[in-house]
Amino acid sequence: MYYNRQYGISEVTLLDNIGGRKMSEAKVHDIVIIGSGPGGMTAGIYGGRAELDTLILEKNFHGGQMVSTTEIENYPAIPETNGIQLANDMLAHAKKFGAKIDYKGVDSIEVLEDGTKKLMAGGEEILTKTVILSMGSTPRKLGLDKEDKFTGRGLGYCATCDGGFYRNKVVAVNGGGDTAVEDALYLSRIASKVYLIHRRDELRANKTLQTRLAESNVEVVWNSTIKEILGEEKLTGVITVDKTDQSERKIELDGLFVAIGGIPTSGLVDGLVDLNPQGYIITDEDCQTSVAGIYAVGDIRVKSLRQVITAAADGAIAVHAAEKYILEHQ
């Protein structure tokens, strides 16, 4: 094997694991990134800048969940932008340093005997020394009419991201776990009034958070589910149903945050890398998964804060670890 620094591609002779065929002079990428959220595109920037052959594979539009955010005001040195603009800027930055993007989904990942990773994407076989998983997660939704219509128009899934837009306004959080209570407490320092709507008569959040909630001015709406989202052009309120007596209540709101969990897009690597019970990928502090040379960044991995900036940090860390892995396995 030799490494061509000019082009960042290794040229090797491998045995295809199907039928023992030789793949003479097969090109092997240094890094293949699956998914192009902020973590994946930051990995593209750092991989390209390190002169590593870096390929991003994206089955949809680059940017991940970020592109659904109409305003971003907490990214350092960029006080005002939106998800689509930041996604385009990140991709342009990655391309500037030589990273490439191909809009196709990955169907499978296999680790060959020599540690090379073989990906099948749209019928094409792609070989790489390392893989960075950046497929993200999707918020668990309420499943109500107008939910998609009002996303970004009064309805959101990340209070830490968008809470600042509701200063001195009336908001509600739907959920009963740690994230929901943390969101409600965070919003209580910003908004004029905060409701926490929970379907049970007790919370799943840890006891410390429950104590802080009891000491706050957040109004908990117990044993209630959201029956209907109100509004025409934007969200103006909700109708809740009390499960104990089926009584309905109209709550006028400026904003609603849904915090009932997320769904990690980790099906591709289920059985390949270790996942937690919720399906998030378990990594160490270097974003290394349980498989050498495979890393996970952004919302798809186990972490306490899921933000654009924390995903971007993961991307930088993963490339640093991947470069070290490549040097150690030449």
- Segment holding 55, helix H or strand E: strand 54-57
Q: Look at the chain and report how many structural domains it folds into.
A: 2
Same domain, 46 and 112: yes
Same domain, 310 and 226: no
Same domain, 313 and 290: yes
Q: How far is CA 189 from CA 175, 207, 217, 295, in A?
A: 19, 20, 10, 37
Same domain, 168 and 244: yes
pLDDT value of position 257 = 97
Same domain, 316 and 244: no
**Residue 228, helix vs strand vs coil:** strand
pLDDT value of position 68 = 66
Q: Which residues are catalytic?
A: 158, 161-162
Same domain, 133 and 268: yes
Q: What distance in Å separates the CA atoms of residue 268 and residue 262, rounded to the nearest whole number? A: 17
CATH number, domain of 145, equals 3.50.50.60
Same domain, 276 and 318: yes
Contact (Cβ atoms closer than 8 angstroms) between residue 101 and residue 43: no
Task: Identify the domain containing residue 211 by its residue range.
Answer: 141-258
Instruction: Tell which of 241, 258, 275 closes a domain.
Output: 258
- How many C-beta atoms surround the C-beta of residue 259 within 10 A? 24
Instruction: Tell which of 258, 286, 319 closes a domain.
Output: 258
The set of residues, in sequence order, having a beta carbon less than 8 Å from that of 102 and lying 6+ positions away, is 55, 56, 57, 58, 121
Same domain, 193 and 129: no
Same domain, 73 and 97: yes
- How many C-beta atoms surround the C-beta of residue 177 within 10 A? 17
Give DSSP secondary structure letters for 177-205: SHHHHHHHHHHHTTSSEEEEE-SSSS--S
What's the alpha-carbon Rg for the chain, to the nearest Å?
22
Q: What is the mean pLDDT of each run of 10 residues along the chain (330 residues)?
A: 38 44 70 97 98 96 80 87 92 97 96 96 95 94 94 91 93 94 94 98 93 97 98 97 97 97 93 96 98 97 91 98 95
Q: How far is CA 281 from CA 47, 278, 325, in A?
A: 22, 9, 20
Please compute, for residue 132, the number of CA atoms within 13 A of its CA located in the half-sphere on the CB side: 42
- How many C-beta atoms surround the C-beta of residue 276 within 10 A? 12
Contact (Cβ atoms closer than 8 angstroms) between residue 16 and residue 23: yes
End-to-end CA distance of the chain: 8
Q: Record the tokens describing residue 96, joined without a space.
A: 């500037």
Same domain, 21 and 124: yes
Instruction: Tell which of 207, 225, 258 closes a domain.
Output: 258
pLDDT value of position 3 = 37
Same domain, 174 and 295: no
Q: What are phi and psi of 63, to 5 degrees?
A: 120, -20
Predicted model pTM: 0.73
Same domain, 78 and 183: no
pLDDT value of position 9 = 42
